[in-house]
Structure 1
């Protein structure tokens, strides 16, 4: 008796690569950004040359003023349109890279399925004893293979649809700017798909809450998402509630625009002082993102990936707003947000990205195997001097606290899966900012850590925090001069930044944070050592981020004996690097 086993044909017949060259598209986008810069330069020059009073007058001069004003306005409008088309090309190139990567994955999958098919046919032909069990096993393999081929075909169809949509979206952007009227309009180069999507309920810029923004995003098609990223990157890149990947794509479009356009103006010698600050911020951000992108997880050998979560280089008179992440903020089990303090500006983003990387390493080395994402967040206007009115008062911390709470709410809302264990770490004046977020604005964190704190703002005790006293931690280097600004016992700092969170009166969990290189309290060196490699502080921070704050190396709290200044028991303890979690050693390798 013969037995028939139907082996599926290899599918799909071909897997054509998405057409186009992303690198060449990048070159075109850069050319467009440069052209936009030329339009801006002409408009700015025309504006400057409008007023020639004292040198020229009469009817001809009046006509000149009108004509130059029109030229300035039209060139500014055209610059905006050319930039929007350039951003569409940048977005197209980024999507093309993703589609090409997907294609390569499909090719690998098909090769694997074809190999399974060849092996199955060989096994069928080699079968000499077709028992019911053997036949059933071969048929099951054929059924599984047929199912996997069908899935591959469906995924390939989806890829082809996305390729067509990407092509069509770029075509729409070009067609929306191919007449003079469109070129001079306020939305020249914006496809109808993008414009229509932004008029749907919950769209960014409408005052929608983060959860509503997320619902809006989830109801968009892939094509609509790509359209709004290209057409409205400023809105998408800063919209709380959107997935980190969407914000990252939008902010990288903005970054490419700034680097090319302002770089061209710098080369032409027409860049203004404000634009020069924006360009410096953009360049610092580019380097920081490259650093985050290139980071390799030391426990897996894989790159967790970088995220440009916030990019606003002109904010706060050029000090800027920026947030750079390491790891997947939308899926990681453990997520941290690091809030900096005094004198932090956007051009410092590289150093702070280093700290986010070190924290990631510490949480992974000493963790329980859970996935991690760390985010450096500079989303508020920090005090600009070591000691000035803003430094010793709470105004910027109060404003920053609201902004921080909103950002964390956005991180929470952007996740479609299980909620993360989320830790917020405030350093220096950032600890006061974090305290305002946790006391006045219901900061949606699981744990809060204050390090190098000059005071806990509005909190009298750790119990005032939204996370509860048992989830408030403090790290204080006994030689950190900034930590002496906090109130303790009878002493109250006239600056009014609040209670010292390392004190027994406050009631937080204090952990060891001394540095083996600690110096004199007369300088501020130890204030910047909390994220140092091989440090007590970094080890304990990693434990908290990983969700194991109960395993930190605790430190005795400072106290006020009332008859003299406050006492810090840590000042006489010898610091050590012999702690688990040094960045170059696995925890189980440490004696």
Structure 2
């Protein structure tokens, strides 16, 4: 990669590099064709075996030429996926910055007089048709890029470990999977699934929740290796009424299930064992977990475990597609739930708000006693308050209870 006339690599350089990569791929077609490609629709174990079978040179070449393929393969080591996805990240950031900069400015005046009436100008209407939607998408995607870069830059701050970008796709609402600490070598891994209204442009708050979970878990168990993952790899409902439908969770189930399975395969390859794994679903994210627990993939008729996870936490859940935790194959002793209090709380939306989501058997939600499991104490006073710390960086009860489950300190969890 050659910079134009200085030592900085500008967006234009990255855009040019992407073009050059295409030309290299074309010129080296015969050589690249000799590298065995990953198995088509392979399961995580097959993906891991394929990668292990390549030489070091072939691995480096394949990442260089096919980062989009490598970055999305479940079962591959986290550092490999991170390397591939960071290349995509830089290319897409440059591409989107260039496209955003090249959009013509909004024409003025926006309104013109027509007799006694005021209407939009023809120039503005034409601009809106051509550019408004694209500009909004680019702006949102670049906000997501900014949030990811901010997390990269925080590495080392207060002991915060390296970030691993395990999935990145800025198209549509975007896809972002980012880990704090290497999940392949962690003693404890927690995966956080966000809910309704999630999109890459607003991913900053969800990435911060992953950081907060890591910080509190590390405080409770400083001698252990911990990884917390923000997993946003599905099309989330864009508004509360849409969250009454199971279709979003049903489509997301395979992606979540296969990521968890891939995480276990990669961990076994790195350590010979498995990590203590906790899956946390916020709001509709818990519904996704419910569907993933019932999911049967194309590459396995049955599962030895309902989920490749030891504990499940549901925060502010509208339902998990079942009347009882056991119906999902979840051990009630390892099923945890919490809810917010106050006006406009979780229960208000599900019960009194007229939006009875109905995503559990007979309308049962995880904080109902009949669902089974444990209802944890929570001091959240709103739907998004489960990860709060105060001005002195003291964790809320809700956050501490989640961290206790993450590190396996079950006796320390306070219950309602």
Specify the TM-score bucket, using the shorter chain as the normaliser.
0.7 to 0.9
- Residue 98 of structure 2 is aligned to residue 264 of structure 1: yes
Question: What's the counterpart of residue 110 of structure 2?
Answer: none
Bigger relative contact order (CA 8 A; separation at least 6): 2
Question: What's the counterpart of residue 544 of structure 1?
Answer: 405
Cα 1:452/1:445, change in 2 over 3 Å: same
TM-score normalised to structure 2 length: 0.80
How does 1:237-248 map onto structure 2 within 5 Å? 237-248=71-82
Question: Which residue among 229, 245, 258 is the counterpart of 1:393?
Answer: 245
Aligned partner of residue 366 in structure 2, secondary structure = coil
TM-score normalised to structure 1 length: 0.58
Q: Unaligned stretches of 5+ in structure 2?
A: 105-129, 297-305, 390-394
Q: How many Å apart are 1:281 and its aligned residue?
A: 4.7
Residue by residue over 1:236-279, the C-alpha shift from the partner in whole angstroms, topping out at 9 and shown as x without a partner, is 11111111111111111111111212322322337955654554
- Residue 43 of structure 2 is aligned to residue 209 of structure 1: yes
- Give the distance between the partners of 2:94 and 2:85, measured in 1 at CA: 14
Question: What's the counterpart of residue 16 of structure 1?
Answer: none
Q: How many Å apart are 1:425 and its aligned residue?
A: 0.2
How does 1:377-526 map onto structure 2 within 5 Å? 377-386=231-240, 388=241, 390-415=242-267, 416=269, 417=271, 418-441=273-296, 442-457=306-321, 459-479=322-342, 481-484=345-348, 495-498=357-360, 499-515=364-380, 518=381, 526=382
Question: What's the counterpart of residue 207 of structure 2?
Answer: 353
Is the strand fraction higher in 1 or 2?
Answer: 2
Aligned partner of residue 375 in structure 2, secondary structure = strand
RMSD: 3.0
Question: What's the counterpart of residue 188 of structure 1?
Answer: 26
Is the helix fraction higher in 1 or 2?
Answer: 1
- Give the distance between the partners of 1:23 and 1:359, measured in 2 at CA: 42
Q: How many Å apart are 1:547 and its aligned residue?
A: 1.8
Q: How many Å apart are 1:369 and its aligned residue?
A: 2.1
Contact 2:155 2:163 in 1 (8 A): no
Question: What's the counterpart of residue 531 of structure 1?
Answer: 387
How does 1:1-400 map onto structure 2 within 5 Å? 30-35=11-16, 83-86=18-21, 177=24, 187-188=25-26, 192-199=30-37, 203=38, 206-269=40-103, 276=135, 279-295=138-154, 302-314=159-171, 318-367=172-221, 369-386=223-240, 388=241, 390-400=242-252
Cα 1:194/1:422, change in 2 over 3 Å: farther
Aligned partner of residue 188 in structure 1, secondary structure = helix
- Give the distance between the partners of 1:503 and 1:243, measured in 2 at CA: 39
Cα 1:303/1:393, change in 2 over 3 Å: closer
Residue by residue over 1:159-218, the C-alpha shift from the partner in whole angstroms, topping out at 9 and shown as x without a partner, is xxxxxxxxxxxxxx8xx64xxxxxxxxx5255655443243xxx15x1111011011111
Cα 1:484/1:454, change in 2 over 3 Å: farther
Cα 1:266/1:477, change in 2 over 3 Å: closer
Question: What's the counterpart of residue 415 of structure 2?
Answer: 554
> Rg: which structure is higher?
1
Residue by residue over 1:99-152, the C-alpha shift from the partner in whole angstroms, topping out at 9 and shown as x without a partner, is xxxxxxxxxxxxxxxxxxxxxxxxxxxxxxxxxxxxxxxxxxxxxxxxxxxxxx
Question: What's the counterpart of residue 74 of structure 1?
Answer: none
- Give the distance between the partners of 2:310 and 2:7, measured in 1 at CA: 42
- Give the distance between the partners of 1:542 and 1:191, measured in 2 at CA: 49
Aligned partner of residue 473 in structure 1, secondary structure = strand
